[in-house]
Amino acid sequence: MIRSHYRALRHIAFGMTALGLSAAASSAERPSVTAPAGTFEGVTEGSANVFRGISYAEAPTGERRWRPPVPKARASAPVDASEFGPICNQPEFPNVPANIYYEDLPPMSEDCLSLNVWQPENADHAPVFVWIHGGSLLTGAGRFSLYDGAELAKRGVVVVSINYRLGALGFMAHPDLSSETPYNVSGNYGLLDQIEALRWVERNIAAFGGDPDDVTIFGESAGAHAVTTLLAVPAANGLFARAISQSPAGALSRSQELAAEFAAKFASILCADEREPARLLLAARPAQLVNAFDRLLTTSASDLAGGYPVGCTFGTDYLPSEPIQAMRDGKAYRVPLIVGTNADEGRLFTRFLKLLPTNEAKIEALLAGAEPTCRERITAAYPEYPAPDACIRLGADFTFGSTLWQLADSHSRHAPTYLYRYDFAPRTLQWAGLGATHATELLAVFDAYRTPLGRLLSAGADRRSALRVSDDMQGRWDAFARTGVPGDGWPRYTSDARPVLVFDRASRVDNDPHADRRKAWEGFQVLGR
């Protein structure tokens, strides 16, 4: 039943995986690139050369588990880069949450720190996109079908997708692990992996025709959160020139105190002997760690006020302060930023993902610790509350909208910022009751509407609109990567007018379209953060 449920989600509701985005290799002569990291032999697919499974760091295994990544040594012999590498360890069928990023999972390994490169024809000092995948910091991989970079590469940009450590292996911040390190700090390993991948790009991408001084990082959901977090990481300064954050998820940053609390709960689930948790954590098999973390998620799912058990830990040398606060204080990296959400973010989470407070019981638990006036202000912004549709909008705004508004107001004080809302949904998604829900903008960004299943999703009268929205969104992402300005007719965000570009059948600019909802969340803070 579980497997059937996921397959239905993938193939019928969304069509977001197994899209057939990759064409068969069209040339018997394999492309080869010699870079500082070594010589890599890829494949030609359509008009792009593709190099898969390139290791950017040594295997984070053994004594390197729960340590910062170590740069991969230069390969002494040519590397076969025709196949994707293993994905990072993750639940195959997570109890909480199910997720749209799911595929029939390929082999997993702790030795998963690899990246993939799509090289356009005749690339020379081309802009570079680096994709950071979503999946709640728990699941996903740069190799997943939806993230195929071939269509973006047709626009003359080099596209890179990366893997980074997930779950406990990527973000465990346990005091006993901290004592084992020379920095006396633990956690943020997945974040450090992202930085190491960017360093690899800086050193090597010129050999693939990319411009290391013209790198744009972009990501969705947890990947979007990673994008905005990297703006606040001192070690990432200078590794990218622009950033795009698509539906950044809130509640994925936590204090050292909260991180340690979750780590202690995790260790108690995993380790019967609490006297030596560090030794037992280091000795555990990856599957044991994944299963224990899945149990932690299950037991923590109802504790909305306590935050999410996996995330980036701030208050360390790696991440000195919470990212939005760093932006507010002018301490974040001042690069041009695109940030946005989807019109119906929350609808996905009513059926397939159970992370958001999208019903009355969860919302009341969320607001239980708030000041009475704060609770009244928030619920009043959703006049039909506690009707189901109002609950869905409220839960989505808590997770995505409130984060978006804070990011925009904070970053725009110091750097060019552009806001969007993605409203387009073909009738198939409307009839399914999903609308422009979480992650559906990826169909446009990666041009999936031109795939066979994309054509099925946008059949009939929707076809022309789907292609127009895809061309518009891709064109603006491309323009932004080249100039820092996302094309004509998209005003820079200010806290006065608050213009938002709405992607839809007929795109438009609205000023502060949800002013009442935005104001309602001002000053709200999740307990335990």
Distance CA 170, CA 95 (A): 19
Q: How many CB atoms lie within 10 A of CB 277?
A: 20
Contact 114, 21 (CB under 8 A): no
Distance CA 410, CA 324 (A): 7
Concerning whether 41 is annotated as a catalytic residue, the answer is no
The owner of tokens 């904070």 is 410
The three-class DSSP label of residue 242 is strand
Distance CA 138, CA 129 (A): 23
312 beta partners? 253
Concerning whether 345 is annotated as a catalytic residue, the answer is yes
108 beta partners? 87
Distance CA 211, CA 126 (A): 5
State how beta strands 48-55 and 114-120 pair: antiparallel
Alpha-carbon dihedral 391, 392, 397, 399, rounded to 10 degrees: 110
**From 136, 145, 161, 221, the catalytic residue:** 221
State how beta strands 158-162 and 499-503 pair: unpaired
Q: What single-letter amino acid sits at 114?
A: S
The three-class DSSP label of residue 312 is strand
Alpha-carbon dihedral 270, 271, 272, 276, rounded to 10 degrees: -170
Concerning whether 322 is annotated as a catalytic residue, the answer is no
Distance CA 412, CA 415 (A): 5
Strands across the sheet containing 114-120: 43-45, 48-55, 114-120, 158-162, 126-132, 210-220, 242-246, 337-342, 417-422, 499-503, 508-511
**From 438, 458, 507, 514, the catalytic residue:** 438
Distance CA 114, CA 142 (A): 9
**From 45, 196, 345, 441, the catalytic residue:** 345
The three-class DSSP label of residue 511 is strand
Helix orientation angle between 256-270 and 286-300, rounded to the nearest 10 degrees: 120
Compute and round to an integer the Cα radius of gyration of the chain: 22
The three-class DSSP label of residue 343 is coil
Annotated active-site positions, please? 221, 345, 438
